[in-house]
Structure 1
Amino acid sequence: MKTIKTIALFLSLYFSSSAQTVLSNIPDSGKTIAAFIPKGYDTIGIAKGDLNKDNIDDIVLALKYKDEDTFEMDEEPKRILLVLLMSNKGLKVIGKSENVLMCRHCGGMYGDPFSAMDITKGVLSIHHYGGSSWRWSEVRKFRMNQNGMSLIGATSDLFWSMQACNGSEIGDAGRQFRDVNFVTCDEEIIERTVECKLIKQVKQKIKRRPLVKLEDFNFEEEY
């Protein structure tokens, strides 16, 4: 058992180190999107929109290792998120991370959890979805400030997908919903039993704290 744990720890450290090496080799600036895509990687998502209010569309890339399908769970190279600002001189990296995008296996029976990525009114939203009988979704929102890109919002939803509540659409049974705005400090929580009984529904204020930078964010942690 000790040997197995040692091997698992080694693999985790190896692929984390490999991803960090890939990140460090990504150029700070370039003329084209292709200039920022590391060898052996490909895009799984591209979002365009104005992040810094200069009326020029910026670009966010979601990248995966091309052969990630050949790896077992917890062994595949981490996916990479790149935030690129566009100007008349070209593209510049203002944010990059290996811990924002979930792994291919993280969706469980549902499969690849990466669902969508968009930029709306200067806010980058990243959507993940997964599960089987119990379905879940995660949305994380980032916005540019003087420190780069920071987490400003998070929405998590979990529900039992095998039944509806009182003829309504599926999504209320066993629901565990949380939405939080880290700028206004507003939080909403909804909890129901599998039998659809409402346990908790509240809107409240949370304690203000420094915004989490994109580089410090980890999808495995709760914020």
Structure 2
Amino acid sequence: MKYLLILLLVSCLVVSLPAQQPFVFPALKKAGMNLQDLIPKNWYAIDTAYGDLNGDQVSDVVLVLEHRNAVREHRAYGDNTTEIIAEHQRPRMLAAYFATKNKALLRLALQNNDFVLRASEGGKLGDPYRDVSIDKGALRMRFSGGNSWRWNLDYQFRYKGTAWVLTAANSEYFHQETGEMTSRSFDFILQEVEVVSGSIHSRASGNATFRESLRDEPMRTFLTFKKPWAWEILPGTYL
């Protein structure tokens, strides 16, 4: 009887324990005098880029932040909505700050908690994150990963007054041993993609190149493009 009571008590305690809640991202400060003022507690910058993002001839700043501890985080796969899984990893954030004319103040222009791939999302090659840069006014991010089949991804977003719009992207998929390769360069302003297929070892000759039009749909932003590999931009082709 004694052991039965103990078992019942333990069962009640287990049932009453609250479910572990998903990680909650902090809201970044709207403004600050320097980068250290802007980085939340328990976060640190893994990459930083400087350049003019809004065309005012003043150097702005982009940060990629990572949490110091691994937590339980919900991440989207596939089509953004039907495949949401929980992973134990270090969350990452992307932030952009516009500098004022006198460079005395940095104002928050972007916080995105989803788009930057996490360290465990690159396959056998390890951390897929490569770098962030500001290239002729575009916020540019590069990722790579895979196993025998490897991939490289390159995205360029531009600030259009009220939103960050995806204007260009490059996707490359190749086999490490055979060299078989397909590369796609997307131009979302012209709504077309250039496709190169063949071998990674003979880019200048022997590869087939053609162009095709993209589907007529609204341009994607950080709000409508959840994360890399989550957009089926063409049938069977994910970006």
- Asked if TM exceeds 0.5, the reply is yes
TM class, shorter-length: 0.7 to 0.9
1:216 corresponds to: 224
Q: Distance in 2 between matches of 1:122 and 1:67?
A: 33
Pick from 117, 125, 128 the counterpart of residue 102 of structure 1. Answer: 117
Q: Distance in 2 between matches of 1:37 and 1:122?
A: 24
Aligned with 2:88: secondary structure? coil
The answer on whether the counterparts of 1:96 and 1:215 sit within 8 Å (CA) in structure 2 is no
Q: Distance in 1 between matches of 2:184 and 2:140?
A: 16
1:121 matched to 2:136? yes
Structure 1 runs of 4+ off > 4 angstroms? Answer: none
Q: Which runs of 5+ in 1 are unaligned?
A: 1-9, 164-172
Higher strand share: 2
| TM-score, normalised with respect to structure 2 | 0.73
2:91 corresponds to: 78
Pick from 17, 20, 35 the counterpart of residue 33 of structure 1. Answer: 35
Task: Pick closer, same or farther for the CA change 1:84–1:160 going to 2, 3 Å.
Answer: same
Deviation at 1:159, TM superposition (A): 0.4
Aligned with 2:209: secondary structure? strand
The answer on whether the counterparts of 2:70 and 2:88 sit within 8 Å (CA) in structure 1 is no
The answer on whether the counterparts of 2:99 and 2:105 sit within 8 Å (CA) in structure 1 is yes
The answer on whether the counterparts of 1:95 and 1:214 sit within 8 Å (CA) in structure 2 is no
Task: Write out per-residue CA displacement over residues 146-180 of structure 1, whole angstroms, 9 at most, x where no aligned residue.
Answer: 223211112111101124xxxxxxxxx22122211
Q: Distance in 2 between matches of 1:26 and 1:154?
A: 27
Matching of residues 139-178 of structure 1 within 5 Å? 139-163=154-178, 173-178=179-184
1:221 is matched by which residue type in structure 2? A
The answer on whether the counterparts of 1:155 and 1:179 sit within 8 Å (CA) in structure 2 is yes
Deviation at 1:77, TM superposition (A): 4.0
Deviation at 1:200, TM superposition (A): 6.0
2:190 corresponds to: 184
Aligned residues: percent identity?
24
Deviates more, 1:207-216 or 1:91-100: 207-216
| Greater Cα radius of gyration, structure 1 or 2 | 2
Higher helix share: 1
| TM-score, normalised with respect to structure 1 | 0.78
When the two chains are superposed, the root-mean-square deviation of aligned CA atoms in Å is 2.7
Matching of residues 128-139 of structure 1 within 5 Å? 128-139=143-154
Aligned with 1:109: secondary structure? helix
Q: Distance in 2 between matches of 1:77 and 1:115?
A: 16
Q: Which runs of 5+ in 2 are unaligned?
A: 1-18, 74-85, 234-239
